[in-house]
Structure 1
Amino acid sequence: MSGGHPWLRFAARRLLLLAASLALLIVLTFLAMRLVPGDPVRAALGPSASAEVVEARRAALGLDDPALVQLRDYAGRVVRGDFGESLTQRRAVGDILGERLPATARLCLLAFLVVALVALPLGVAIAVFTRGGTRPPLAGAFTLGTGVVMSIPEYLCAAGLVALFGVTLGWLPIAGAEQASSYVLPVLALAAVPTAILARLTRVETLRVLDQEYIRVARSKRLPARALYLRHLLPNALTATLTVGGLLFGAMIASTVIVENVFAWPGIGTTVVEAIIAKDYPLVQAVVLVLGAIVLVVNLLIDVVLGLLDPRSLIRES
């Protein structure tokens, strides 16, 4: 791909990488579920089911076929958007995901929005106010505060929010998603650690950019603060921040499994835990695949944004 427009080469490489990653994800989810001990059909039918009924159900699901045949059939169904039937609920897995995924999507998007709206301005502001070693108490308080937040596991943060704002103060609901206020505590539990991490990184990157020669030249021209920060500072400071932001979004997706179960949230997180306990392989595979695909697509979009912010990166990849 040495010829052609840099954006076309970039798009081709990223799409090929996305396709390869999705194919690998399909294979890994298939193998992982087959390595789990226990018989999912027996678990779904219960101990009272006869051996003949169990064998008939296994044959109907194709679980008696060779592993390669099962993998081929499984991959073919996934490509067509068919995730099979839940072993325990006897319903199409796609219908279950359609019911549960929107609640998780809203939760994650709100949490990511909170992270972006808090971490980026906070990191830039602290960097500007503490540049050159000024205001050491502010820098110390920021470092200490973000360090404490980063050290708190998601489940402990969620439990603490429930104990304080739900049980002790009684200000906010601690379970379900029936009202707008139900989003507050789970969103805070999901957003706390990523916000601290991203705010720290934004401060470091902003301090680095503020020491660059072109920033000093822009200051010498007495540019308005808005032009200085928006045109010269942010595009250069956000490159590394956005890269880490994509990784944090993936971690946030994984954290929803814990947070949703703490708050009894009717989303994918509670669904996958119930499916794991019941050995509902088709449902577990579908949840892992969908969440993994979302993370891969989000990272692809972040690569596109980075290319827009710094077109030179497209040339360097060529």
Structure 2
Amino acid sequence: PVTAVLQGTGASQDEIAALKSKLGYDQPILVRYGEFLWSAAHGDFGVSIRYGQPSIEMVMERLPYTLMLGGASISIIVALGLPLGILAAISKGGVFDRLVSTATGLAQSVPHFVVGPLLILLFAVLLKWLPVSGAATPFSIVLPAFTLALYPLALVARVLRSSMLETTAQDYVLTARAKGLPPAAIVLRHMVRNALLPVLTVIALQIVAMIGGTIVVESIFGWPGLGSFARDTLLASDFPLAQTIIIFVAGAVVTINLVTDIIYALVDPRIRLK
């Protein structure tokens, strides 16, 4: 990696060898890996070969942008996916149900690298409503967030619709109807709540998948987050920086799974925290 990074800079072989020795690249790979884990456990993630700055500082500079993008995407998924799924289930077989099924099917079949340029062409180039790329204005996040959220949104809507339809014949729903409860109360208290567990599982899995999707989406829209930064880092063979990013991603996946388990217990009293 040192040779690849310094290629074309005019560095001599002695300078390359000195940098390799300084960074420990003249040691066996197992020794280097052990030293990295030991240093990382003490908060030292090494220095970027390409930039000459501490890797942790460079990651922390870009992490807030990825968190903002992820938060905006999750908000779109919840704000649109859940209502669409509920309304589609309520109007089973109707016009709205068929429209939602068709639209979500199309949304699931189009990849990020197609959705992104299409949204740029429509909303940024033709209509000029939103910025093309970057993060200069608060509206810059709209297109990348919607691009990242489109597939999970469609999946959540379809799963919630199916889960709610499965609850319609359950005893607790039939009992609620026999008691004369308002339709809204039956839907929200009994059908939606009992249909949420599969949806939570899908959302958790899609959030993990969205971490990988940020590489494509951030690259398309020039969003200065960890996704596009990870792509540039891997292309430059900057191993210390790449290792730091991977550790943060792994930590995010573990945290998401833990939070999902906690939410399970809050939604369904039958699930107990051990």
- Give matches, 1:207-246, under 5 Å: 207-246=165-204
- The ranges of structure 1 where at least 4 consecutive aligned residues each deviate by more than 4 angstroms after the TM superposition are none
Partner of 2:24: 62
Q: How does 1:150-299 map to 2 (within 5 A)?
A: 150-299=108-257
* Structure 2 Cα separation of the partners of residues 104 and 251 of structure 1: 14
Deviations 1:3-51 (A, max 9, x none): xxxxxxxxxxxxxxxxxxxxxxxxxxxxxxxxxxxxx101222243222
Q: CA deviation at 1:95?
A: 1.0
Secondary structure of 1:88 counterpart: coil
Q: What residue ranges of structure 2 are gaps of 5+ in the alignment?
A: none
In structure 1, the partner of 2:6 is 45
Deviation digits for residues 57-78 of structure 1 (CA, Å, limit 9, x no counterpart): 1111112222222121111222
Shift of 1:142: 1.7
Per the alignment, in what secondary structure is the counterpart of residue 91 of structure 2?
A: helix
TM-score, structure 2 length as denominator? 0.94
Equivalent position of 2:105 in the other structure: 147
Give 1:226 shift. 4.6
Equivalent residues, number: 273
Q: Deviations over 1:277-312 (max 9, x none)?
A: 211111112112212211221121011111222232
CA displacement at 1:158 relative to structure 2: 0.4
Q: Is the 8 A contact 1:42 1:49 kept in 2?
A: no
Structure 1 residue matching 2:130: 3-state secondary structure: coil
Q: Is the 8 A contact 2:218 2:225 kept in 1?
A: yes
1:248-301 superposed Cα distances (whole Å, 9 cap, x missing partner): 001111111111111111111221111112111111121122122112211210
Identity of aligned residues (%): 36
- Structure 1 residue 92 displacement after superposition: 0.5
Q: Which residue of 2 aligns with 1:9?
A: none
For the aligned residue pairs, the C-alpha RMSD in angstroms reads: 1.6
Structure 1 length-normalised TM: 0.82
